[in-house]
Structure 1
Amino acid sequence: MYIHIHELARKTDITVRTLRYYDSIGLFKPSSKTEGGHRLYTEEDLKKLQQIQFLKNMGYALKNIQEMLSDPSWNWEQSLRKQLDYIVEEQQRLKSMELSVREMLHSLVLEQGDQHEAIEKLIQLSRPKAAKLKSLKEDLFSQDELGLWEKLPRMQGNDPHSLEWIALLGQLKSHMHESPGCDKVQNIIRRMMEKQQEDFGGQDDFLNKLWDARKSTETSDELGFYPLEPELLDYMEAAYDIFISNESEQNDEY
């Protein structure tokens, strides 16, 4: 019993156009044709088409699939191992691309949508410095403090912690034209202080070292921190000082 090309397309969710293309390249030809030239397929053809789609979903190119299905001596184990290696490499490449795209999105938040500034800073951030980074971290921080390093927000992160820090810094930067003591800025600083307490409560020495490192353009670059303008850091410091002073005054009143 023959199956018409449209029926085959319906059963396999493959378009008629694709089936015609497979025919044109010799990958999948119909078993017969009507007098009018319409393609007709058998149940065996259907099984072969399913094999083609199965292998295609595994990432094989159509040319390779044609060889695999037509060569009786094809080494399937060797071929599958090579394909597995390729897939693992592709996963790593795509993961790297994912992190780069995520990093760019987060950088745009900090740079107020300025894509040129974001790209320039990410290029600076990507400069190789792994060996020096490890040595510098060990010089600046104790072993216990190095354990806290993993809690720092990451530009490539997709966790709520990193995303909130990026958003807070972006908000702070957007208000730099206002007084660091204004309510909007002080509310941002309040949330930053809350997050510091949540993640690093009782670790004042670590936070002070971290801030000193961040304030130094050279040290910040060597540690792989996202480049922040000195003006933003000075503004943040002034806002923090005002917040702490206000909190101290309120406590004295009680």
Structure 2
Amino acid sequence: MAALSLEERLEGRRNFSSHMRQAIDEETSPTSLLRHTVRSLVGSTCQRYHAAADTQVLPLFEYDCHDLWYIYLRFAKLTDVEDALMDSGVLSILTTRSLGTLVRQSATKDELEVARTSDGLIWTDLPFFGKAIEGAWANKTLLSDRECKNLAGFCAKLLAVDVCVDGLVRCAVECFEEAFRAVGNETDNASELQVAFVLVWLRYAGKKLFLIAKAGSLERSLDLDRWTMWKKKLEVLEEPNDEVKKWLSHMVWIESNMGFARAG
């Protein structure tokens, strides 16, 4: 029987991914997702890469990365932000990254081959994870309020430990700007919810966001001027509700706690 072509193998992997994601969507236990599904997929990826007989298989393992992040994001939506299990999920990602670059002996045994995808090295660069997170955040209107809050917390906790920083800062900035638009629209009933998401970002990644703002980065769309502009917008609001007051007080507290004093 002739060996399958790479395209046939890719088609089979696509079908497997589709079926697996259907099962993941039906899973309601974040504990099961984290402790069994994630561990199994990471182990399988390493084992299969080491056992692969040819050098044309990297596209197959890109599907592994995409599926892994799909599982983590499903886990994040199901896990309450205050639950210690979410911290375990963040630690799991850090542990996966700490495995370093996935390598194997070349066919000639005289050098090492590295698992380099179109978006970086497996596992060192967590390839495609940043794009997956940004995609999930961009589609948050499809989520329940609880799922969205949980996702915000997961993103913030990842940002706090330097995972996918550029993409997560963009998500945070978008969240802040959406909240300002909602607060400015007196007929918008979503303002309280939007501010709640901001408070989650500030609670779990506020200091990190402030440090990034101080450093300034056009690519990350966040600098000290933008941070200060946000604070001034909050200061001039007429009759802000309690949640908006918390937003401002949290930003002020972060600056004070970080020993920041801006001239003028």
TM-score (norm 2): 0.30
- When normalised by structure 1's length, the TM-score is 0.31
Structure 1 or 2, whichever has the larger Rg, is 1
